[in-house]
Amino acid sequence: MTASKTCVADHERPHQLQKLQKLMPHDCAIVAVAKTGEDVELPTVPRLQGLQHSLQLDLEAHRRWNGSVSVGFLNSVDLIEINETRMSEGNTVYYTLVVYLSLPTSRLPTSPCDPTDARQHAANPTFKVERCFAEFEELRENVLKSVSHMPQCTCQYCMDFLVYIRYKFSQPRGIVKLTSGTEKRKRILETFINDFVAMGQRRAATLRKRNCEAQKLVPAMLEAFLLNNARDC
């Protein structure tokens, strides 16, 4: 692997929006340093690019409120809807993901009876982004690689993703693409991305001394999938 083709994602500086090339499977990889000091190439996680200035400022506010980059962003996601599609010149169907973010209203401590007191659910969508079916498939495959990376991590976080990917039928994969029309695919993809965001928000303790890399990688993948080339609604 040459230095010109490798990007190292920096999760230690949470308040920096970092630009990257367009979301492609060969563009960029996260390189994690194992305890042995050796570099281990892990699945693709592109950084963010193409954000409009006003949206960039809104997302920075959400990140400061949530306290971290990828997990904080996922925790801000209320809902993702897919209601529209667009046909490209090459006859590729692009699905429009409309993302609703919770709005920070206060930094004061919340009531223990109602932990959502400091969150105001968005009545209107915050931003939207277009993705084709193949990009959903790529996200699914990269998440699978992360949670099944050897040596296998057996934490609940990884196991939840593994069970979902291996046993849930309605997912972005070849058989679904062949046996469903555009309207059915919209519902399948909408459920899939909302489920992945919900699972990506979770944290789980590991039974081994080594930290679970997937709990860093998966939120970064989901963040890049939702934000790369996003635009205001």
| Among 204, 211, 196, 206, residue whose Cα is nearest residue 161 | 196
ω into 151 cis (within 30 of 0): yes
pLDDT at site 103: 66
Residue 122 has what pLDDT? Answer: 62
Helices 133-147, 156-167: axis angle to 10 degrees equals 140
In the prediction, which pLDDT does 158 show?
92
pLDDT tens digit string along 43-97? 444 455 555 555 555 555 544 444 367 888 999 999 999 999 999 988 999 999 9
For residue 24, is it within any domain?
A: no
Do residues 45 and 225 touch, judged by C-beta distance below 8 A?
A: no
Q: Which structural domain, as residue segments, surrounds residue 75?
A: 51-232
**Spatial contact of 205 and 57, defined as CB atoms under 8 Å apart:** no
Four-CA torsion 166, 171, 173, 175, nearest 10 degrees: 100
**Given a cut of 80, is residue 113 above it in pLDDT?**
no
- What is the rounded distance in angstroms from the CA atom of residue 217 to the CA atom of residue 230? 20
* pLDDT attached to residue 208: 62
Number of folded domains that form the chain: 1
pLDDT, tens only, 152-208: 788 899 999 999 999 998 999 888 888 889 999 999 999 999 999 999 998 877 666
Over the stretch 117-137, which tens digit does the pLDDT of each residue have?
Answer: 445 556 688 999 999 999 999
Rounded distance between C-alpha atoms, residue 222 and residue 72, angstroms? 12
How big is the CA angle at 192 (ends 103 and 150), to the nearest 5 degrees? 105
pLDDT 10s digits, 214-228:
888 899 999 999 999
Q: What is the pLDDT of residue 151?
A: 75
H-type alpha helices, the chain: 53-66, 70-76, 133-147, 156-167, 174-179, 182-201, 214-227
User: Tell me, what DSSP letter sits at residue 111?
Assistant: P
Overall pTM surpassing 0.75 (yes/no): no
At 211 the pLDDT is 77
In a domain, 114, yes or no: yes
Say what the pLDDT of residue 174 is: 87
- pLDDT reading at 33 higher than 70: no
- Classify burial at 183, counting beta carbons within 10 Å of its beta carbon; exposed 0-12, middle 13-18, buried 19 or more: exposed
Residue 124 falls inside a structural domain = yes
